[in-house]
Chains A and B, each alone.
Chain A
C-alpha cells in the first residue's frame, strides 16, 4: 500500500471497530554528502516514511506505528494501539478536527542540481584544509532533508504540509604546538542558495583556532558572556521546564509561577512557529491546532507553558498549539522556533566568553534546572577577548542564570537541537567556574 492508501485503510477500519483514531504520516527524503581529502567519502540518499496511530478506546489513549504498510502490519498496529488504550489508566481524547489545507513551506529551496551540492561540499572541506593550523578534517559536507507531514482523524482533521532544510558544516582538528582543539559547526537554511560554503568554512576555522593555546582558568566567580550557540543549548534544556506536559507530571520548576517574575526584565522569550523562513516553522501542530506566536516570558514575567490540547485542558489553560509527535512516538509538547529577543545593550568588559557547552544531556538537569557543564571559551578583559581558557566547568541553575541576565546582543543566531533555538550573545552577571 502507499501511505495515502494506508491512511484511508486505517481510518475506515477504525470506524468499523468503533474507535476514534488519528493518523499522522511522515515521509522524509535525506541527502547527505560528506567530503574528506578532496573526495566525497560518503554519499547518502534515502527515503523513510511511516504511519503513527493514536486511538481512543473506552475514553483512553493508545499508540502504535508501522513502517511496513502491508494489511497484516496495519491490522497489527490497530490491534496494538487499541490494546494499549484499553490497558491505560489515563483518560484522553482527540480534539475536534477541521480542514487544515495543504501547505508548501519549502518551495524550490532544495531544487539545485546534485552537482552544485557536491561542489559545495567539496569546497567547504577544501577551505577547512587551507589553514596551516588544520591538523585533520574529519568531514565537511552538505545535508538536506525534505519532509512531508499529513494528519487525518476520524474527528475531521485533515491537512498536510511540506517543509525541509539544507545545511552545510564540518568538523576539524586544529593545532598549534601541543595545543589541539576540535571544532564542529553546521549552518542551516531553508534554501540551498542561502548557504555559503566558503564563508561557513572560514567561520568554523576561526571559531576553532581562537580556542588554541588555551590557559587554565582559576576557579572563581566571573561574569559570563554566552555566545548564541552556548545559550541555545541552555534554552533547549530550559524548554523542558516550559512544557505543559512536564508541568502536569510535576517535572517543571515553573509550575504555579505564571504571572511571576522568573527572569531579568531584559528577558523576553518567544516561540513562533509562523516565522517567515523559520527553520522549523509549521502551519499546524501534531494534533492539527493552527500555529501562532506565543510569548512565554515577557520582560521577565512568566506568561504561559507550551501546551497541546490535553495538557491545556488538564491545567485549565489555553492551548498554545505546541503538540509534538513523530510517527514513531507519543504525543508530547515541544517548541518550534524558540528565541530570546535581542536587546542591543551588550558591551564586553571583563569575564569569560563562553563559546560552547559540552555534554548538555548529562550535565544539565531539566527538572531541577541545575547545571554543571564543561565549557570552552575566551578570557575577556578591557572590552575584548584576550586568550582562550580550557579545562573548566560552569555551574549554576538556569532560573538563577535568567535572573542574572544583564545584557543581550542585537543579533539572533539559530541552532537546531530538536527544535530551533535562537539567541543573541547574553551577558550574565556572575557564574561559578571550576578550573584549577
Chain B
C-alpha cells in the first residue's frame, strides 16, 4: 500500500518534531453489502475505504491525524498539522537522523479464506440470500424477512519508529437475517447473524436456509411470549451470544483504557479473587477464523491468548501500547480500532468463559422459579460503576426445575463485579458468537462466548 521509503520519511520527520514514538496505520478496505427482501435484491452497495492514521506519542500524550491522501505530501501535511497543534513545530530533534530498520512480519495465513470472495459472482451471493429468506418463511405469521450479506476485505499496514512493519489482509463475512412475525397488532422480531473471518465458505458453515429458520422460530416464539416477570431472579444464561453479559459486565472493566485511569472498579486488583471460583475468563485473538481474530493487532503486535481470570483470580488486563506506558503491564496485542479514523485503544477480541463440568440440564433443574435467557441481545456498561444492562432476545420461565412458557421484553440489569461473583455453575457446552463492540476506538468485530451458566440472582426488568 505504501512504500517503506515514504513511511520512513514520515516517521523520521515525526521524531525530528520531538515525538518519542510514531506510528503509521494505512488501510484499504473493500466492503460489500447486499440485502434481500420479499424474494428480490432490495439494495446493494460496494465501497472502498482508503486512508491512513498517524499517531505520535510525546511521553503519554498522544496526537492523532488521519487523511485520505496517501501521497508523501498528503501524509507529511497531516503530520505538520499535528505538530502545529501540539505546539512542537520548530523543534528539531537529532533523533530519526539515521535510517529506520523495519522488521517485516509476514502474515502466516491463519485466517485465510478457503473460498475467496473473488471466486463467486454476485448472483451466487444473491441465491444464498434468497435461500435464507425462503428458510425463514416457516409460517403465515412471518410477514417480513430481510436477509443481508456483509463482506469486508481489509488490507492494513502498520509501521512504527521501533521498526515494526506488519501487513495483514483480513477477510470477514456475515449473514444477517431479520424475521418479523405479526398477529393482529402484535409485532415481534427474531434475528440470526452468524459471521466469521472467512470467505464464502460461510454458507457451508451456516447453511442459509437454517439461519433463516432460526430467526423465524425466534420471532414466532416472541409472538406467543408473555411479558417477562419483573424482580430479582436466578437466571440461566444461554451459551454462545449469552456471553455478552460478561463481555459488558466484566470484559470492558479489564481494558487498560479504563483500568489505567482508575476508572474501572477492577483496577489494581491483579492476583485478587474478583469472580466466583467457577469462572475462568479468556480473551483469545488467535482462534482460527473467529470473527474477532487477527494475526496482528492494530498496533502491529502479534495477537495472543490472554487468560484474564483463572478460577476467580484476576490474572491479566487487556493492554495496548498506551495502557502499557501508563500502567507498566506488558502489552497483550489488544490495540484495536474501527478503521484509520480512530487511534487504537485496548479492546476485546474473542472473549469467553471457559467450559466447566456441569450439564445444562442440571443447571435448569436446580432452579425453582427463574429465567432462562436463551438468546441475548446487546447491552451496555459503565466501567466506573460496573453498572450494566442487556436485553434478552429469547427467554423462558423456569418453574420447578423445568423450562416452561416463553417470555419477552426481559432486560437484565446489575453491577458486573457483583454478578460475576454470583455465577454458581458453569456447563460444558462452550460456544462463541459474533458481535460488533463499540467503544472509544469505534466499532470492532468481536466474539463473545460461554457455556450455559447459572447466576444465582439478577434484577430482571419486565412488566410489574
Contacts and interface: CB of A to CB of B under 8 A. Distances in A.
Contact of B44 (A46, A88, A180, A368): A88
Q: Which of A65, A173, A361 has the most CB of B within 10 A?
A: A173
Interface stretch (B17-25, B153-161, B454-462): B454-462
B382 A372 contact: no
A358 B389 contact: yes
Contacts of A68: 28, 48, 50, 68
Interface in A48-62: 48-50, 61-62
Contacts of A363: 377, 389-391, 411
A136 B263 contact: yes
A42 B64 contact: yes
Interface in A73-91: 73, 76-77, 80-81, 83-84, 87-90
Contact of A80 (B46, B228, B343): B46
A395 B409 contact: yes
A358 to B, nearest CB: 5
Contact of A42 (B62, B78, B380, B464): B62
B48 A136 contact: no
Contacts of B439: none
B68 A370 contact: no
B269 interface: no
Contacts of A171: 384
Interface residues of B, number: 84
B231 A434 contact: yes
A434 B385 CA distance: 20
A87 B44 contact: yes
A71 interface: no
A77 B143 contact: no
B423 interface: no
Contact of B50 (A66, A81, A89, A90): A66
Contacts of A137: 261
A359 B380 contact: yes
A62 to B, nearest CB: 6
B66 A180 contact: no
Interface stretch (B33-41, B194-202, B285-293): B33-41
Contacts of A49: 68
B383 interface: yes
B189 A368 contact: yes
B442 interface: no
B60 A44 contact: no
Contact of A136 (B32, B41, B62, B261): B261
Contacts of A136: 261-263, 384
Contacts of B400: none
A64 interface: yes
B403 interface: no
Interface of A: 31, 36, 39-50, 61-69, 73, 76-77, 80-81, 83-84, 87-90, 114, 135-138, 171-173, 180-182, 219-221, 249-251, 253, 328-330, 358-359, 361-363, 365, 367-368, 370-374, 390-396, 432-436
Interface of B: 28, 32, 34, 37, 39-51, 53, 60-68, 78, 81-82, 85-86, 122-123, 126, 143-144, 146, 180, 182, 185-189, 227-228, 230-232, 258, 261-263, 265, 341, 343, 377-380, 382-391, 408-411, 413-415, 459-464
Smallest CB-CB A-B distances: 9 pairs: A393-B461, A89-B40, A434-B230, A182-B384, A374-B389, A362-B378, A173-B384, A84-B44, A80-B46
7 contacts: A47-B66, A73-B50, A87-B123, A90-B41, A136-B263, A138-B258, A330-B43
